[in-house]
């Protein structure tokens, strides 16, 4: 059969789970991985070990792939343009991906589109940060490196001009944003195909601990329908205007006065969508791969009233196997997703999904399992 | 992490789908495959190409595996005993597997256990078949080679002593069975772990066309609770008595007079359990792999009132991709499972699962998709 070959750049857990979702679809998967031990490299047959920053490596890798897609957003834009010039479909394409790579470009474009954003501007140094603070009503303000940040890295909450010095030390452009008075964080996840078909998942609540996603609740409890619809339409519009193909996560703040503001964009399967593996008719991974191949998209609706995802972070014990066994015994409905990664304190090494009719129960089961696997709960 | 390595002998679709189920469990998978193009070999990282009938190949393969399990039941029993003597856990073990390899041994043991079976005996030639026919009320009778049959191969319905000649031509032992007056076929699927934990899936109805599984409906419509419970208990008892570890499919006849009789046993994930991938909390593949690793088993209960599986057989057109795209567009809830196999007429190349509240709708959607993929439905 002439089923297509999907070329995935990056060997992390998102690639691993996309491969898993591609198996029933009958797809061939080819992986460009930094090492043979990467999370996805352990489970994919056709693995090329190489550096995605090297154009020749990318070109060699792309030969024989019907489409190139990504586990992360770090491939240089000029390399993606070169692949496109070679005739390889790159999805999402460089014109979209630049908005996920560069927060300055993202903010400028969203503002141009009238998408609600925190007040922001690129700042030149600590004195400029102080000026920005005055414009937005005073410190604290948020500083972000425009490139390369993730999971709370590359982000600072600064309370004074003195504290604003550190972000500038790396010599990269810095974006200042007002500190939003939010009640919680939400994510609007959508998937869009090249010919413009799109599906929207239920808007979820995303809870962070120390800047890292800890818990996702689908759908976001108590979110008014109008606000949920507004968030979905916003994500669909951003995807269409930016030409996103595949999964787009729009991370949002829900403000105390009932508005939503865009926090971040991610153009790949996203942690806020892991619940869909067990909680939706079609997972974000299956729909991402369907989208990048321009296949019709699958139904994004939930299968249960509530689904909860909790990340499993590495704790003090390098071996989780005994805890994993315990969690399976305690909760036969628990869905565990391990990434095959070595345990390091604070590192995302897996997640758990639970679902059911009673949110309190679903939340407790997910939290208990994640805590037990990490070692912060011992009974 | 010291997560275990599962050694899977055989590269067919059952191995492919077991690997898929093992990815979220964080397991390492090692495959012994006949060719690098086999269904599972396309999607597993660690593939050894070799002949499972060769003991040295098996021994080399087993090195570094924490357990050996199977895609099929054809590995010689003496080789499995040799692996066990080497200290490698083999699950299911040879003492259980012999009952799935040899229908004569299976019938003798089940009869000894008092499990309800069609009347049967090993026959020596056409005249003996005629004598057996007289004992059970006349022709037609069923003849089966005691080893190597599957999907209707190695099975004959004979109407006379003359017709009984063919099965003896291969020179292998032949088992005669009465032709049961059944209203339908059922399957009771259970999973059992080495320490004896077991889970039972809902009993399903299995419809065959030309001796090949065509449609599975979960649960079996209109099956009285007592009969369903009896079937589940029978499967659990067979598994315990025979020492089965992993998935056991007990294929059953439901007779016109409301009894169940054992037709066949399979000690591996089974076509009658494919519906569990999308229709149960824990799939047969996930539970099989949990069982062979002696991990606690997952909840086998259904997630929807009705789930239907239809096999996708190869038709006249070698390329299914256009049909596959059409099916996705027609039914965004459809779950397609393709095996990466070349299309040959009548060959199982995939299956589809549908689920929902309305059995007629669920059945129609699965049948349409399977027929469209095969090419027997064109609109």
Mind listing the pLDDT tens digit for each residue in B267-280?
999 999 999 999 99
C-alpha B55/C-alpha B60 separation (Å) is: 9
pLDDT value of residue B151: 63
pLDDT value of residue A101: 93
Contacts of A269 (CB under 8 A, 6+ apart): A14, A17, A18, A247, A284, A285, A288
C-alpha B179/C-alpha B129 separation (Å) is: 13
C-alpha B265/C-alpha B368 separation (Å) is: 30
Residues in the annotated binding site of B: 103, 144, 177-180, 185, 263-264
Q: What percent of chain B has pLDDT over 70?
A: 99
pLDDT value of residue A141: 97
Neighbours of A165 (CB within 10 A): 13
Closest chain A C-alpha to B159 CA, distance in angstroms: 41
Neighbours of A321 (CB within 10 A): 14
pLDDT value of residue A91: 98
Q: What is the mean pLDDT of residues A27-47?
A: 97
3-state SS, residue A104: helix
Nearest to B220 by CA among B193, B178, B182: B182
Partners of B336 on chain A (C-beta within 8 Å) are: 24-26
Q: What is the mean pLDDT of residues B144-172?
A: 86
pLDDT value of residue A319: 86
- Peptide bond before residue B237 is cis, with ω within 30 degrees of 0: no
Partners of B320 on chain A (C-beta within 8 Å) are: 1
How high is the mean pLDDT of chain A?
96
C-alpha B322/C-alpha B310 separation (Å) is: 19
Q: What is the mean pLDDT of residues A159-167?
A: 94
The residue of chain A with its CA nearest to that of B1 is A319
DSSP character at residue A8: E
C-alpha B90/C-alpha B81 separation (Å) is: 9
Instruction: State the pLDDT confidence band at B379, using cuts at 50, 70 and 90.
Output: confident
pLDDT at B174 over 60: yes
Q: Is B25 touching A (CB cutoff 8 A)?
A: yes
C-alpha A14/C-alpha A214 separation (Å) is: 17
pLDDT at A1 over 70: no
State chain B's maximal CA–CA distance in angstroms. Answer: 63
Question: Do residues A350 and A337 touch, judged by C-beta distance below 8 A?
Answer: yes
Buried b (16+ CB within 10 A) or exposed e, A82-100: bbeeeebbbbbbbebbbbb
CB contact under 8 A, A23 and B2: no
Instruction: State the pLDDT confidence band at B357, using cuts at 50, 70 and 90.
Output: very high
DSSP character at residue A121: E
Please tell me which residue, B210 or B289, carries the higher pLDDT value: B289
Please give the helix or strand (H or E) that residue A276 lies within, else none. Answer: helix A276-279
Q: What is the mean pLDDT of residues B307-324?
A: 93
Q: What percent of chain B has pLDDT over 90?
A: 93
pLDDT value of residue B152: 65
pLDDT at A97 over 90: yes
DSSP character at residue A166: G
Instruction: State the pLDDT confidence band at A2, using cuts at 50, 70 and 90.
Output: confident
Strand partners, A9: A32, A70
Domains of chain A: residue spans and CATH: 5-90 (3.40.50.20), 119-178 (3.30.1490.20), 182-374 (3.30.470.20)
Is A263 flagged in the annotation as binding? yes
DSSP character at residue B253: E
Mind listing the pLDDT tens digit for each residue in A307-353?
999 999 999 888 899 999 999 999 999 999 999 999 999 999 999 99
CB contact under 8 A, A16 and B2: no
C-alpha A322/C-alpha A340 separation (Å) is: 15
Please give the helix or strand (H or E) that residue A145 lies within, else none. Answer: strand A141-145
pLDDT at B1 over 60: no
Mind listing the pLDDT tens digit for each residue in B68-98?
999 999 999 999 999 999 999 999 999 999 9
CB contact under 8 A, A328 and B277: no
pLDDT value of residue A153: 76
Closest chain A C-alpha to B275 CA, distance in angstroms: 13
Q: What percent of chain A has pLDDT over 70?
A: 99
> Best of A38, A43, A326, A372 to disrupt the B interface by mutation (most B CBs within 10 Å)?
A43
How high is the mean pLDDT of chain B?
96
Dig out the tokens for B74 from the structure: 């054809």
Secondary structure of B151-204 as H, E, C letters = CCECEEEECCCCHHHHHHCCCCCEEEEECCCEEEEEEEEEEECCCCCEEECCCE
> Best of B332, B347, B351 to disrupt the A interface by mutation (most A CBs within 10 Å)?
B332
C-alpha B280/C-alpha A235 separation (Å) is: 32
Instruction: State the pLDDT confidence band at A171, using cuts at 50, 70 and 90.
Output: confident
């Amino acid at each position: 059969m002439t089923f297509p070959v999907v070329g995935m750049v990056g060997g992390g857990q998102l690639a691993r789970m996309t491969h898993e979702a591609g198996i029933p679809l009958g797809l061939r998967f080819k992986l460009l991985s930094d090492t043979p031990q990467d999370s996805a490299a352990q489970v994919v047959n056709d693995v090329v070990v190489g550096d995605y920053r090297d154009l020749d490596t990318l070109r060699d890798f792309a030969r024989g792939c019907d489409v190139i897609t990504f586990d992360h957003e770090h491939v240089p834009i000029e390399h993606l343009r070169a692949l496109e010039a070679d005739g390889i479909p790159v999805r999402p394409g460089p014109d979209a991906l630049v908005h996920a790579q560069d927060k300055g470009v993202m903010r400028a474009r969203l503002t141009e589109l009238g998408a609600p954003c925190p007040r922001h501007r690129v700042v030149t140094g600590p004195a400029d940060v102080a000026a920005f603070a005055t414009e937005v009503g005073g410190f604290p303000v948020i500083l972000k490196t425009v490139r390369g940040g993730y999971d709370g890295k590359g982000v600072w909450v600064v309370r004074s001009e003195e504290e604003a010095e550190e972000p500038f030390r790396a010599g990269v452009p810095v974006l200042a944003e007002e500190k939003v008075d939010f009640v919680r964080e939400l994510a609007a996840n959508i998937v869009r195909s090249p010919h413009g078909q799109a599906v929207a998942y239920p808007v979820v609540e995303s809870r962070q601990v120390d800047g890292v996603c800890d818990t996702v609740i689908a759908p976001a409890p108590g979110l008014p329908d109008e606000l949920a619809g507004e968030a979905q339409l916003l994500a669909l519009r951003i995807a269409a205007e930016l030409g996103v193909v595949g999964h787009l996560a729009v991370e949002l703040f829900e403000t105390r006065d009932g508005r939503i503001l865009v926090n971040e964009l991610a153009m790949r399967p996203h942690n806020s969508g892991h619940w869909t593996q067990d909680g939706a008719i079609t997972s974000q991974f299956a729909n991402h791969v369907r989208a990048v191949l321009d296949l019709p998209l699958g139904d994004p609706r939930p299968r249960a009233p509530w689904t909860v995802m909790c990340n499993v972070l590495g704790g003090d014990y390098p071996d989780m196997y005994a805890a994993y066994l315990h969690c399976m015994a305690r909760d036969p409905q628990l869905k565990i997703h391990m990434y095959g990664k070595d345990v390091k304190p604070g590192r995302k090494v897996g997640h758990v999904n639970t679902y059911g009719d009673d949110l309190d129960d679903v939340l407790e089961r997910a939290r208990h399992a994640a805590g037990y696997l990490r070692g912060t709960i011992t009974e």
